[in-house]
Amino acid sequence: MTAFWDFCKSLKGDTLLSKDVIDAHGLTEEEFQQIIKVLGREPNIVELGIFSVMWSEHCSYKSSRVHLGKFPTSGEKVLQGPGENAGIIDIGDGLAAVFKMESHNHPSFIEPYQGAATGVGGILRDIFTMGARPVAILDSLRFGDINIPRNRYLFSGVVNGISGYGNCVGIPTVGGEVYFDEIYNNNILVNVFALGIVKKDKIFRGVAKGVGNPVIYVGAKTGRDGIHGATMASDVFDETSEAKRPTVQVGDPFTEKLLIEACLEAMDKGLIVGIQDMGAAGLTSSSCEMAGRAGTGIDIHVDRVPAREAGMTPYEIMLSESQERMLIVTQLGREQEVIDIVGKWDLDAVLIGEVTDSAKMRIFNAEDIVSDIPVKALTDEAPKYERNISPPPYLDILHDLDIDNIPVPDDLNKVLMVLLSSPTISSKEWIYRQYDHMVRTDTVILPGSDAAVIRVKGTNKAVAMTTDCNSRYVFSDPFTGAAIAVAEAARNIVCGGGEPVALTDCLNFGNPERHEIMWQFQQAIEGIASVCRRFNIPVVSGNVSFYNETNDISIYPTPVIGMVGIIHDVSKRVTQYFKDEGDVILLIGNNSEDIGLSEYLKEIHYKIRGFPPCLDIELEKKVQDLCLQGIKEGWIKSAHDTSEGGLAVAISECCMPPEGTDNIGASIELSDDIRADALLFGETQSRIIITAASDRVAELERMGETTDTPIKVIGRVGGERLVIRRKSDVLIDLPVRDIAEAWQKAIPRYLGEAN
């Protein structure tokens, strides 16, 4: 190695970039050598910075690309698969849904409000850059133990950031999920999903087409914030991570709102050839990726870029991750029209370059060329690693669970109350109260039910959306755990009355340089792909977040699934809540003895052990098909899938409709001859609790028979208590009022806000 550096010095003398500088850019020695090979010379500092961000894990997907190819990505409804700013599916009526999910984990841990806020801002730009007006946001969040004050600070800070940004831009935050687990104490996850609607013939892409076309910078001025954000997100955390705060960007939702309107107006006027937001790696990634997709070159004049402060160097301007900025390629001669529209919205629009046929990204500062790099070297030809893979040593210990050594508690009422007030299971109302979830007047299923549903104005349709992942399952068995995440997401869509169509994912993992992490990753990808293929649900966009590790401890592998479904007739949508006294409660699916890795095992027996529930993919398909068909026929009045906390928790949740409607009780009779705790709290997959008017029960049962799908009557809606019996034993008997009190007040109590 010393010899290598000596050699370099002999070539370049004093101008050589020191090893410290190269290290600080997160590049390995081999990568640095490759840069020299590509350029035929040593890079200067601007070029080093550009390579550093474009070859970072965050931008290049260098550890994941070889695996991501296993996803099914096409289908008759797919208009745009992975590789663009977001995926697009055809929803009929000449319309398309544009959606994607992205992580903002690292910045949110360092600065929760701004980290989460800019997470929202970034994903919204990915949506409207495709020509779509964003219409819904969902958030998938993971925090550490809520009893630790710092975790409560991170939790409220993140919720505040999402609320502050989303509310101001006027896009409803309609759903999501939150889990609390010690494993996230030092690495929280903030994954934001956004969806937009666009006319099928008005889709825009991030391409720098047409040699000679002008390149226009639009939006907020460039400052010194977020420099090397992408590099920061491509490294593990330790005690010094706090010092990385300056790499976190600061969001301005008001500017974002203006930017959305300005860009959509310019698109509407037919002025846009290609457009992309300046997200991670800012002006650098947007310009070279647009040129990369079009197979062109691009010239950028940094001295023309609107700067927030004087004296910014080309290095800083190219690497800044200042928010609320877009790069637009327009037709030659129409630049003034773009500038006029953007100016109407009081934003900067400046001509900063042009599309060339050089196949290079050239950066000019006044007359000087400060960077000259082949575009392909930064995009398609960025490093790609087939990292080593081996199963982790922890599996044997983790899987070792002798269920006979777990005593069945005497007081099952108490167990239910504890589970309902646990932070992961309890009501998330404290969160969604702070989000404007009604703006745009499309939200036809409010937060709290299985899937969020928004109508599509001008049609009879609605779009259902959900995010899901039980990472404990993935930790124990990445293939099955990830497969369950997809199956559960589809089940949630079905419970709302939607037909699952496509998904986006946000794959949060530890350090990919560790063999066992790459094993988790590879297994999880296979698991997702297997369910996608069977259910014919393609993956149309996604994001990978590695290096969620602090002081050598990695998070549970958390491949969050964001799924989208279509409800063809908006009047045929259902919520999870029981509707009327006397309705019959049915269970689609089977109960079995699964308590491994359950919330019950963790909260009551303080054990994280065992295998995830098994997933019988054929049974899952039948269960979902029956439920969806029953909803389409209009026979099903409510549908709720059982997940964390099992049957007892799921039924409790059905008893508690949103505020403004009275709670309603239920009386359940079960007959399964399995452990009582497993029956009530086990997390067996492929189960949906539905209700129907009594005169529809025979039809549903007949449908079960003809499709060979297990379905049975388990009880009736009514009264003010939840009573669950097995044969003559009363397992649960509680007033719904008490259940609701425990479930609804839990989070405010943890935060010291309950009255």
Partner 1 sequence: MKFAIIVFPGSNCDHDCYYIVKHVLGRPAGFVWHKEKDLSDFDIVILPGGFSYGDYLRTGAMARISPIMKAVEEFAKRGGLVLGICNGFQILLEAGLLPGAMLRNKSLKFICKDVYLRVDNINTPFTVNYIENQIIKMPIAHAEGNYYIDGETLNRLKKNNQIVFRYSNCSGDISEEVNPNGSLGNIAGICNDRGNVLGMMPHPERCGEGILGGDDGYTLFESVVYYMQFRQ
List contacts with partner 1 (CB under 8 A).
163-164, 167-170, 252-255, 257-258, 344-346, 432-441, 443-444, 446, 455, 457, 570, 659-660
Q: How far is the CB of 459 from partner 1 (least distance, A)?
A: 13
Q: Taking CA 436 as the corner, what is the angle to CA 490 and CA 463, rounded to the nearest 5 degrees?
A: 30
Euclidean distance between CA atoms 701 and 588, whole angstroms: 10
Q: How far is the CB of 401 from partner 1 (least distance, A)?
A: 42
* Catalytic residue (one of 25, 67, 104, 301): 104
Structure tokens at 176: 């999501």
Give every CB contact of residue 147 below 8 A, 6+ residues apart in sequence.
Answer: 750
SS3 call for 319: helix
Among 118, 117, 137, 142, which Cα is nearest to 127's?
Answer: 137
Max intra-chain CA distance, the chain: 89
Q: List the beta bridge partners of residue 732.
A: 724
Q: List the beta bridge partners of residue 328.
A: 216, 275
CB closer to partner 1 out of 129 and 163:
163
Q: How far is the CB of 218 from partner 1 (least distance, A)?
A: 15
Q: How far is the CB of 433 from partner 1 (least distance, A)?
A: 6
* Catalytic residue (one of 25, 58, 67, 640): 58
Burial class (CB in 10 A: 0-12, 13-18, 19+), 156: middle
Give every CB contact of residue 441 below 8 A, 6+ residues apart in sequence.
Answer: none
CB closer to partner 1 out of 163 and 684:
163
Measured between alpha carbons, how far is residue 711 from residues 219, 345, 667, 691, 714 in Å? 56, 57, 18, 12, 9
CB closer to partner 1 out of 61 and 432:
432
CB closer to partner 1 out of 447 and 527:
447
Q: How far is the CB of 134 from partner 1 (least distance, A)?
A: 12
Q: How far is the CB of 434 from partner 1 (least distance, A)?
A: 5
CB closer to partner 1 out of 444 and 597:
444
Q: List the beta bridge partners of residue 301.
A: 364
Euclidean distance between CA atoms 247 and 753, whole angstroms: 33
Burial class (CB in 10 A: 0-12, 13-18, 19+), 239: exposed
Q: How far is the CB of 86 from partner 1 (least distance, A)?
A: 21
Helix, strand, coil shares of the chain, percent, nearest 5, are 40, 25, 35
Beta strands 499-508; 539-545: pairing state: parallel
Q: How far is the CB of 438 from partner 1 (least distance, A)?
A: 5
CB closer to partner 1 out of 437 and 622:
437
- Answer whether 89's CB lies under 8 Å from 224's CB: no
Structure tokens at 36: 């020299």
Active site residue 67: no
CB closer to partner 1 out of 389 and 439:
439
Active site residue 104: yes
Structure tokens at 34: 């490759």
CB atoms within 10 A of CB 738: 15
Of the CA atoms within 13 Å of residue 384, those in its CB half-sphere come to 12
- Answer whether 454's CB lies under 8 Å from 460's CB: no
Structure tokens at 389: 């893979």
CB closer to partner 1 out of 166 and 510:
166
Q: How far is the CB of 5 from partner 1 (least distance, A)?
A: 51
CB closer to partner 1 out of 413 and 443:
443
SS3 call for 655: coil
Q: So which residues are the catalytic ones?
A: 58, 104
